[in-house]
Amino acid sequence: MATVAFIGLGRMGHGMAGRYLDNGLAVAVWNRSKVKAEDLIARGARWAASPADAAEGADAVVTMVADDAASSAVWLGKDGAASAMKPGALAIECSTVSYQHALDLARQLRGRGLVYIDCPVTGLPEAAASGKLTLLVGAEPADLEKARPFLAPLCTTIRHFGAVGGGTVYKLINNLMGAVQIASLAEGIAIAERAGLDMNLVAEAMATGAVASPQVIRHSRRMVARDFSGASFTAALRHKDAAYAVALAETLLSGVPVSRAALAAYDEAKAHAPDDDEGRMIEIVSRPK
């Protein structure tokens, strides 16, 4: 039986780890808080005392953590997964990290005889739990083929963007564009409110007209209603992704004013309510002067 170690059981990781159990794999799990693993343990997962303990003997180690620092810690820190992995095992980083971190981590893990794939994901927590994510992969073709049995339970689509780092580049572009859309949506709704428009009609028009996108469709009515229950993506996480994306963009382009403006908007959102739903951007935009 193939064995998987899954590290990081947040909104996305919990459902992803559950998919491996659904598909009959032997799964070891680690998270900073054991309480998030209790239902997975009840379903047959092995609780590990550390990332290294989870990775012991695993064919693949999959991580889904918050940022570069957390990624470094679970892979390379004290009791990190890499210290216990067998040569040739798969190291699959599904976290959204910076491009430079993806390259540096690949170099270090390959130096230990491991097969590294950057594999950030798109999709909401419900998609993670039902195996309907889209995976954005950077890997050598042979490494991707080796990893496919461990990717298939998670997704309906694999997009291979070339060598290691390619998946991360696209994920940062994707999330930066999301930041731009949500920040501009908040401003548009605030303008409509101040102008006295019928806000139910505004929300309907935005979600069905030319400006509609998955982000606009998901957030327009929530912003109009000021209903931010069931946060799926926080202001702090979007800010982190936008910051990583802008840092990359500024190495490639002479100027990124729209991207920098979105990042500045998320500076405020992070200060206002870092762990709440990013849709609360509307509260910042619509504050009285």
- Identify each DSSP E strand in 89-148 by its residue range: 90-93, 115-118, 121-122, 133-137
Contact 159, 151 (CB under 8 A): no
Strand-pairing partners, residue 121, are 135
The angle formed by the CA atoms of residues 21, 37 and 30, to the nearest 5 degrees, is 90
Tokens (6 digits) for 119: 């594999």
Tokens (6 digits) for 19: 């998919």
Contact 6, 80 (CB under 8 A): no
Contact 83, 51 (CB under 8 A): no
Q: Please, what sign has the CA dihedral across residues 52, 53, 54, 60?
A: positive
Tokens (6 digits) for 170: 């696209």
Q: 44 vs 19, 155, 282, CA distance in Å? A: 12, 22, 43
Catalytic residue among 132, 171, 240, 270: 171
> Strand pairing of 26-30 and 46-47?
parallel
Residue 36 annotated as catalytic: no
Query: Residue 29 is inside which H or E element, if any?
Result: strand 26-30
Quote the CA–CA distance of 237 and 232 in Å, as a whole number. Answer: 10
What length is written for the chain?
A: 289
Active site residues: 171
